[in-house]
Amino acid sequence: MATALGRGLSANTTEERIPHMEWFIKAFIRASLLWFAAGIALGVGITVYPQWIIYRPAHAHMSVVGFLTMLVFGVGYQLLPRLFGHPLYSQRLAVAHLFLANIGLGGLVVGFLVRPHSGFAGGWVTGTGGVLFALGAVFWVWNLWHTFDAADVQQRGRARSGQRQLPTLGE
């Protein structure tokens, strides 16, 4: 705060009002944007070179799984623990998820690009990528589920101690 005031900024700067975002959350969101750009580039290529239609599965996975799912993962890691009022169960699991999801999706995309030309080898690459991506998604579910369970335990503890609980939608 002293450095902000020293630069002539008030104590109520935008920097101080923005909630902290962990690096792996930013990495999910950045990966989402990169997958979106790659999906758009391949989509343009398919439009310009219609024979590239054989790469449509790669384009679809870059756009849907890469862009949308990575964005959901990042936003979910940022918002859901805050909504439940409890820190994320495991940041290490989230980091493992980040790498598994992106490496797995990369394998899926490479497999889809290679498969029309090599058949069997492309299938193995696609399958391996799919398994890695799915394992990362399981890590996400596991991590958030345990976060929610911890929040429920904390909420029950408040109720037993007589502390006011957080209001629900019906209150």
Report pLDDT digits (tens) over 2-24.
Answer: 444 444 444 455 555 556 899 99
Amino acid identity at 59? H
pTM value is 0.80
List pLDDT tens digits, range 90-123.
999 999 999 999 999 999 999 999 999 997 888 9
pLDDT of residue 7: 44
Taking the CA atoms of 149, 161, 159 and 75 in sequence, report the sign of the dihedral they define: negative
- Model confidence at 40: pLDDT above 90: yes
Q: Name the residue with higher pLDDT: 121 or 161.
A: 121
pLDDT of residue 84: 87
Write the CB contacts of 113 (distance below 8 Å, at least 6 apart in sequence): 55, 58, 122
* 39, 63, 89, 100, 164 from 138: Cα distances, Å: 24, 21, 14, 10, 34
Secondary structure letter of residue 137 according to DSSP: H
Cβ–Cβ under 8 Å, residues 67 and 34: no
Backbone angles phi, psi at 55, to 5 degrees: -95, 10
Mean pLDDT within 29-39: 98
Quickly state the pLDDT bin for 150 (edges 50, 70, 90): confident
Which tokens hold the place of 95?
């980091």
Pairwise CA distance, residues 37 & 46, whole Å: 14
Mean pLDDT within 31-39: 98
Q: What angle do CA 163, 86, 74 make, to 5 degrees?
A: 155
Mean pLDDT within 30-59: 97
Tokens 């394992």 belong to residue: 135
Number of residues that make up the chain: 171
Which tokens hold the place of 33?
């944007």
Which tokens hold the place of 152?
């429920």
List pLDDT tens digits, range 53-81.
999 999 999 999 999 999 999 999 999 99
Which tokens hold the place of 86?
């409890």
Q: Name the residue with higher pLDDT: 141 or 10.
A: 141
Mean pLDDT within 134-162: 87
Closest to 143 measured CA to CA, from 106, 92, 99: 92
